[in-house]
Structure 1
Amino acid sequence: MSKTSDILCIGSVLWDVIGRATLQMQVGNDVPGRITRIPGGVALNIAMTLARFGLRPALLSAVGSDSAGAELVRECQALGLETTHLYISEDLPTDRYMAIEGANGLIAAIADAHSLEAAGSKILRPLTDGPLGSAKAPYHGAIALDGNLTESLLAEIATSPAFAAADLRIAPASPGKALRLMPFLREGRGTLYVNLEEAGLLCQCTFESAGDAARALLDRGAARAVVTHGGETCADAMPEGVVEDCPPMVAVTRITGAGDTFMAAHIAAERTGRSSRQDALHRALIAAASYVSGDIPS
């Protein structure tokens, strides 16, 4: 484990290009708005939020050696994130994510994370045979992992002895990648952070509440499941029991990154060692609400 970091964030580190309009939108609409480019990706969003809570995250991901990659690394360093263990590729471009958001939520998005997928297990070398750990000397700290990795690589992580001692916190990145988390259900390893739709895909069922979904994930083999449901009640389920809480009502000004903020705030609350499960869930919901309302800067 690096002496300068206390949690690892593994997954997508890229540029977010977000177009936001204050009007409600439908497919095919052409409306005025604002377009921004900011550091993003699930792993990076989580890391940035953890840094805001006073933690020192280290990034494990793939970034191109192009100008976009160099600029992104500088941005990460300026935000207080450790970039020593990033895989810098000479032949792959830096990944990008593009989204369109209206007053009625996310309209459409495209994640171009092909370089992360192409880099594959190279991004894990510091953990599997490097300065952070190995199969014989596994990493013992916290790891935030996102589902933008390939199915085969996620399956390898779920069974690898190099990750057996870690406090794994796992998010699917999007409903389209939810099934990539199946190996963690089968192995009963890690804490899953999913929304109601993603829980339904993993359980092949439709749920009315986060509590029902979280319990079903436990029944399917999850060691722990934290399920969100937008502005409705969310739940944290473990064999010891289920705790629930409802997020505060706020005016929603943005969507992209809200789930990542929730997950990071929940991890940060638990890393202090002073929060109960109920308190950690409440703190995470407050942080996510502040983010979607625009009170927390991008």
Structure 2
Amino acid sequence: MTKAPEILCVGSVLWDVIGRSASAMRQGSDVPGRITRGPGGVALNIAMALARFGLRPALLSAVGRDGEGDELVVACISLGLGTEYLYRSDDLPTDVYMAIEGANGLIAAIADAHSLEAAGDKILRPLMDGRLGTAQTPFAGTVALDGNLTQALLEHIATAPALARADLRVAPASPGKAERLQPFLTHPRAVLYVNLEEAGLLAQTRFDDSASAADALVKRGAARVLVTDGGRPASEAAQTAPTISHAPAPVLMTRVTGAGDTFMAAHIAAELDGAPRAQALIRALEAAARYVSGETIP
């Protein structure tokens, strides 16, 4: 890329291996379906969606110098993503995510992001060495982070001088990693994107709806938070504005993996385009609904 990226996507960049069936499934089900492999990972999913919305995202992550990594980088470049800041490891393999989806949603998934975790703060070098910024000249754009980063690295990012001016957009990647977002729960420049279950894990309680969850996280110190709840209303709460909610349009679900990342990317894109809060929430829900239904977005 010749132009500076408008947004950095920091986190998992890997191969998604997804098995999908039109049948409802439960533990032990053995059904016909399709198995696909494609570029994935939360940071990469967000970046791909941002590119479809006409933005210029760049990736900060770890990708191996193996055949899978070379193929993944070529795929990212073809999608219009900045790969020049990736940390390419000689001794770490390219990460992979595997999931099973049925007509009743996500059945199970395993995220093997061990190489990303092992790389640690090496993925942040472009923010320190002048390519994207330094501690004295912090990166001042938007940064999308995902919870596949280690707790220690997320804590470092929350206080890093090189990101002291960044607009931080943070997602947990999965309910199992929601508690890693604690360093951003009271961060004054962080916007949290969580689902209802993840909100409950962050607040150490259970919620019946997205509005109560968003309000509770703001009361706990969050500057701003968006909470989704599948086909039920999503909500946004903030310290300085009233809580808003909107219900997504009902659609026939054909895929699940990546829906939350699409929501987050569409919301960021809408706000960078100048959309007010309510309109940005609506546009994000519309994009997520189109994604889940199998449509190409935007």
TM range (shorter): over 0.9
SS class of match (2:8) = strand
Listed as ranges, the gaps of 5+ residues in structure 1 are none
C-alpha deviation, 1:74, in angstroms = 0.2
Question: Could you tell me how far apart the structure 2 residues matched to 1:189 and 1:266 are?
Answer: 16
Residue type of the partner of 1:124?
L
Cα contact 1:203–1:216 (8 A) shared by 2: yes
Matched residue type, 1:128: M
**Can you give the 5+ residue segments of structure 2 that lack an aligned partner in the other structure?**
none
Tell me the residue number matched to 2:15. Answer: 15
Q: Aligned in 2, Cα 1:130/1:4: closer, same or farther, shift over 3 Å?
A: closer
Q: Which amino acid aligns with 1:65?
A: R
In the TM superposition, residue 172 of structure 1 has moved relative to its aligned partner by 0.2
Instruction: Render the CA deviation track for 1:206-227: whole Å, top value 9, x for unaligned.
Output: 1111111111111111111000
User: Is this contact kept in 1: 2:186–2:223, CA < 8 A?
Assistant: no
Aligned 1:140-179 pairs, distance under 5 A? 140-179=140-179
Structure 2 residue identity aligned to 1:213: A
Match for residue 207 of structure 2? 207
User: In the aligned structure 2, how far is the partner of 1:43 from the partner of 1:210?
Assistant: 24
Do the aligned partners of 1:158 and 1:189 also contact (CA within 8 Å) in 2?
no
Worse-matched range after superposition: 9-18 or 234-243: 234-243
The answer to whether residue 222 in structure 2 is matched with residue 226 in structure 1 is no
Name segments (4+ residues, structure 1) moved above 6 Å.
none
Deviation string 1:167-194 (CA, Å, 9 cap, x unpaired) is 1000000000000000111434310000
Residue 266 of structure 2 contacts residue 283 of structure 2 at CA under 8 Å; is this kept in 1? Answer: yes
Q: Residues 237 and 244 of structure 2 are in contact (CA less than 8 Å); yes or no, is this contact kept in structure 1?
A: yes
What amino acid does structure 1 have at the position aligned with 2:249?
P
Conserved? CA contact 1:62–1:89, under 8 Å: yes
Q: For 2:262, what is the secondary structure of its paired residue?
A: helix
Equivalent residue for 1:244? 245
Aligned to 1:79: 79
3-state SS in 2 of match to 1:222: coil
Deviation at 1:89, TM superposition (A): 0.2
The 2-side partners of 1:204 and 1:27 are apart by: 27
Residue by residue over 1:152-176, the C-alpha shift from the partner in whole angstroms, topping out at 9 and shown as x without a partner, is 0001111112112001000000000
CA distance in 1 between partners of 2:49 and 2:5 (Å): 14
Q: Tell me, in whole angstroms, the C-alpha distance in 1 between the residues paired with 2:231 and 2:260.
A: 12
Structure 1 position 253 matched with structure 2 position 258: no
Tell me how far apart the structure 2 counterparts of residues 235 and 173 of structure 1 sit (CA, whole Å).
Answer: 19
Q: Find the aligned partners of 2:248 and 2:264 in 1 and give their Cα distance.
A: 14
Q: What residue in structure 2 maps to residue 271 of structure 1? A: 272
| 1:185-204 → structure 2 map (5 Å cutoff) | 185-204=185-204
SS where residue 19 of structure 1 aligns? Answer: strand
Percentage of matched positions with identical amino acids: 67
Distance 2:136 2:47 in 1: 27
* CA shift digits 1:56-96 (9 cap, x unpaired): 10000000000000000000000000100000000000000
130-139 or 173-182: bigger deviation: 130-139
